[in-house]
Amino acid sequence: MESVTVTEATTGIEPIPSYRPDEKTRRYDRQLRLWASAGQKSLEQAKILLIGADATGCQALKNLVLPGISHFTVISDAIVQPRDIATNFFLVPDSMGLSTAEETTRHLKELNPSVEGCSRQADPLQLLKDEPEFFTSFTMILSVNSAPEFELALSDLIWSASDNESMTPDISLITVRNSGFVGKMRVQYRQHCIVDTHPDSTHTLRLDQPFQELKDFALGLDMESMDSMEHSHIPYVILLVRALERFKAGGNAEVTYDNMDAFKETLLTERRALDEENFEEAESQAFRVASKTEIPENIVSLFASSQCENISSSSRNFWLLVHALKQYTSLPQSEDLLPISASLPDMKASTTDYVHLQNLYKNKANSDLTAFKDCVKTTLGSVGLDEDAIDDEEVVNFVKNCHSLQYIDGRSLREEYETDLRKDLISE
């Protein structure tokens, strides 16, 4: 082929097509690859208050303004001193004698034009008495090197403002204290529910208890008539499912780590040549057949919690969905498991076999999703909500991540201050 120029080969003159990232996506590219668009969306809903506009506080805020929170306010009644200029990157000699809140806000705003920044020159302690609703209008508060009495009063306000049931408003408080080479940080929230935890792997192969369609396909393959190319490209998932059937037919109830060698022997009876890499792969993945697929422990404990049991129309979507998930697991369709994941790891296989296998998992995942959606409707109906009160995207995302949901129960600063720590340690 003749050499052509890149410009000739592409359409440089036409307007930028929609599949290309827009300017915002390009700006945030490196973080979107970490927390994806769902994470970015949450971040862009954050309204953050900074109390304590010192070097530490402003650096923390900088790292939130850069990725693109919605709004920040800096509150301080301090006036800029030479020492502040020497330590705080967001103050300059011209700031001397001016409001610390205003000057730091001005410089922090430069970091990201899409973030709204405000300053308030006031004494936080006085404001807490006069205008508590100011504090509860934020989604997160950073209190840096503030007086302990103030921190405690603030924490009480935030804690009591968060309704325990609906968690609205859901305000988290981060308190920070540092000096020299040491520092400490403490986070307060009533509860933290995470759906998208970005686990390293989302595969649920279920090799120990293959679903019907997978089993049918695996056992229906005519391996005898395959040529050597086809034979050496059968995906290991199929090989293991077949081996498990033969192993069971041979009188074994299940594969365990103890009878693994025997199981591998059974697996290799179908191998034709020593250099078949798919068999090599199947051997190295055989342990998956011995690990029992079940509902993960953290999900079981979510099912047992009172928030899952006692749902109401004001429950968080998270708990309504967990409740629906629990309902789902009692359906015959579920086989006592969570909905299957559509994802399949890469493996030695021909394209056709791999895509076919992928579709088996996808179809099963879709059918599980449909059953789960019915449970969501029933759940919502049972508390008097519209059956589409939770939008489809959220439901789909929940199912996609249902194996790795995380829930963290918080406690208040006051509780921590007033608990006898020694007693805690002893009882542990």
Partner 1 sequence: MPDRSIISASLLPDPSETAEEIAQRAETRIAYIKLAPEDKYGDVDRVLDTEGPFTDEAFQGGKEAKQFLRNVCKVLVIGAGGLGCEILQNLALMGFNDIHVIDMDTIDISNLNRQFLFRESDVGKSKAVVAAAFIMNRVPGVKVTPYHGKIQDHDETYYSQFQLIVCGLDSIEARRWINATLVQMVDPDDADTVKPLIDGGTEGFKGQARVIIPTVTSCYECSIDMLTPPTTFPICTIANTPRLPEHCIEWASVLEWPKHFKDKKLDSDDPDHIEWLYQKALGRAQEFKIEGVTWSLTQGVVKNIIPAIASTNAIIAASCCNEAFKIATTSNPYLDNYMMYVGNDSLYTFTFEHEKRPECPVCGGETIEFEVKRDTKVERVVEMLTERQDMQIKKPSLSGPNGPLFFQAPKQLYEATKANLEKTVGEILQDGDQLNVTDRALPFTLTLRIKFVA
Please identify which residue in 45, 59, 126, 256 interacts with partner 1, judged by CB under 8 A.
59
- Based on the shown chain and the rule CB under 8 A, indicate whether residue 351 belongs to the binding site for partner 1: yes
- Based on the shown chain and the rule CB under 8 A, indicate whether residue 354 belongs to the binding site for partner 1: yes
The stretch near partner 1 (CB under 8 A) out of 7-15, 135-143, 258-266, 373-381 is 7-15
Please identify which residue in 15, 180, 332, 384 interacts with partner 1, judged by CB under 8 A.
180
The residue among 185 and 223 lying less far from partner 1, judged by its C-beta, is 185
Please identify which residue in 38, 47, 66, 252 interacts with partner 1, judged by CB under 8 A.
66
**Token reading at 112:** 């990201």
- Based on the shown chain and the rule CB under 8 A, indicate whether residue 274 belongs to the binding site for partner 1: no
Count the neighbouring beta carbons within 10 Å of the beta carbon of residue 4. 8
Residues 213-252 that bind partner 1 (CB under 8 A): 233
Please identify which residue in 78, 96, 331, 369 interacts with partner 1, judged by CB under 8 A.
96
The stretch near partner 1 (CB under 8 A) out of 13-21, 98-106, 364-372, 376-384 is 13-21
**Residues 74-93 as x/- pattern, contact with partner 1 by CB under 8 A:** --------xx-xxx-x--xx
Please identify which residue in 171, 237, 349, 405 interacts with partner 1, judged by CB under 8 A.
349
Q: CA-based Rg of the chain, rounded to a whole angstrom? A: 29
For 323, residues 6+ apart whose C-beta sits below 8 A from its C-beta are: 308, 309, 311, 315, 379
The residue among 258 and 346 lying less far from partner 1, judged by its C-beta, is 346
DSSP 98: S
**Residues 104-133 as x/- pattern, contact with partner 1 by CB under 8 A:** ------xxxx--------------------
The residue among 20 and 129 lying less far from partner 1, judged by its C-beta, is 20
Output the furthest CA–CA distance in the chain (Å, rounded): 88
Please identify which residue in 41, 42, 45, 94 interacts with partner 1, judged by CB under 8 A.
94
Compute the least distance from the CB of residue 62 to partner 1, in Å: 6
AA letter at 360? L
Residues that contact partner 1, how many (by CB under 8 A): 58
Compute the least distance from the CB of residue 52 to partner 1, in Å: 15
Bridge partners (DSSP) of residue 18 are none
Count the neighbouring beta carbons within 10 Å of the beta carbon of residue 11. 9
Contacts 24+ apart (CB under 8 A), 183-189: 183/56, 186/413, 186/416, 187/410, 188/155, 188/158, 188/159, 188/410, 188/411, 188/412, 188/413, 189/408, 189/410
Contacts 24+ apart (CB under 8 A), 182-191: 183/56, 186/413, 186/416, 187/410, 188/155, 188/158, 188/159, 188/410, 188/411, 188/412, 188/413, 189/408, 189/410, 190/159, 190/162, 190/164, 190/410, 191/167, 191/407, 191/408, 191/409, 191/410
244 neighbors 252 (Cβ within 8 angstroms):
no
Residues near partner 1 (CB under 8 A)? 1, 3-7, 9-12, 19-21, 23, 25-34, 55, 59, 62-64, 66-68, 82-83, 85-87, 89, 92-94, 96, 110-113, 180-181, 197-198, 233, 346-347, 349-351, 354-355
